[in-house]
Amino acid sequence: MSLATLATMQDEVKALARERDAVILAHNYQVPEVQDVADYVGDSLGLSRQAAATQASAIVFCGVHFMAETAAILSPDKTVLIPDLDAGCSLAASITADQLRAWKAENPDAVVVSYVNTTADVKAETDYCCTSGNAKAVIEAIPADREILFLPDLYLGLWLERVTGRRLKIWMGECHVHAGIRPADIVRWQEEAPDAEFLVHPECGCASQCMAFGNERTHILSTEGMVKFAKSSPKNRFLVATEVGILHRLAKEAPGKRFEPVSEEALCRYMKMITLEKLRDSLRDWKHVVAVEPETAARARLAIERMVAIA
Ligand code: SF4
């Protein structure tokens, strides 16, 4: 697409959003041209807060399906659209509500903490949701004598055990994108880029090892935490271990600094299913509506509201 065509389509998207009274929310992993037309770009926690607070009558969610479901649960009186219904998540698909019910039956006294990357049906079986931005605070808010079932991300769970000192029962799920970033990637860069700071997402396959073997240049952060860190750091070079879409936002918000991916292959094909063209079609043709069955939504809402409330 030429730059002129791109600019015309971005104008079209903004005009349609105004006409339809829709707010455009985009995840940090979205393609740059979608991020650039969004009213708000952020991580799951920030986007959930925006979805809960918006005055617009509709939300177009440029992210993956569980995120649009979360917006629909938080704003049941608004229409929530996703530009491509096939934008799923390998991590959310790693546990079903039936599997969680069986796990709870084996551990009847445990508190269930679910990472936000789960379906609405799984959230409905959950006590607390969390994101990587507030997972530590959520675990610390639970009385120390309570057993915790943490799901579905293995690496985030291992990292939480280290930073909170709590023993967790952890579901063995993983995100194929983050699990693919291995300790060897970090070790190689630590040698090859002695002037760089390492920003590592806790979902990564290397995160728990980074906690053990990383150095003072290694920082385990949510994507929002990466943006804040890069903006305020006096350093100029950063190596980033998460989905590569975040590089666009980092470069925009911390201009003049150098950002490089630890792995060029850390690319989420689900996030990249959302294109500017599909976003335009979504607003123009009012598709695809994401709705959550009211009883499931009511049960899931409590867990999500606890997540949104904990900083
Ligand atoms: S990057 Fe991983 S966790 Fe995030 S949406 Fe893609 S598959 Fe899911």
| Rounded Cα distance, 9 and 277, in Å | 8
Residue 8 CA, ligand 1 centroid: distance in Å = 30
pLDDT over threshold 70, residue 214: no
DSSP 100-166: HHHHHHHSTTPEEEEES-S-HHHHTT-SEEE-TTTHHHHHHHS-TTS-EEEESBHHHHHHHHHHH--
Whole-Å CA distances, 36 to 19, 31, 59, 245: 19, 9, 16, 12
Is the peptide bond prior to 201 cis by the omega test (within 30 degrees of 0)? no
Residue pair 203/155 in contact (Cβ under 8 Å)? The answer is yes
Using CB distances shorter than 6 Å, the residues near ligand 1 are 64, 89-91, 117, 175, 177-178, 243, 268, 270-271
Structure tokens at 17: 């959003």
pLDDT per residue as tens digits for the range 40-92: 999 887 898 898 899 999 999 999 999 999 999 999 999 999 999 999 999 99
Ligand 1 atom 1 nearest Cα: 268
Q: Give residues with Cβ within 8 angstroms of 246, minimum separation 6.
A: 28, 29, 223, 226, 227, 240
Task: Return left, alpha or beta for 291; rule: phi > 0 is left, psi -120 to 50 is alpha, else beta.
Answer: beta
With bands split at pLDDT 50, 70 and 90, how would you rate the model's confidence at 297? very high
With bands split at pLDDT 50, 70 and 90, how would you rate the model's confidence at 182? confident
pLDDT per residue as tens digits for the range 6-40: 999 999 999 999 999 999 999 999 999 999 999 99
Q: What is the pLDDT of residue 155?
A: 87
With bands split at pLDDT 50, 70 and 90, how would you rate the model's confidence at 206? low
Residue 246 CA, ligand 1 centroid: distance in Å = 13
Residue 181 CA, ligand 1 centroid: distance in Å = 13
Report field, pTM of the whole predicted structure over 0.85: yes
Q: What is the pLDDT of residue 40?
A: 97
Among the atoms of ligand 1, which is closest to the Cα of residue 203? 3
Q: What is the pLDDT of residue 161?
A: 93
Q: Which residue has the higher pLDDT, 148 or 47?
A: 148
Residue 26 CA, ligand 1 centroid: distance in Å = 14
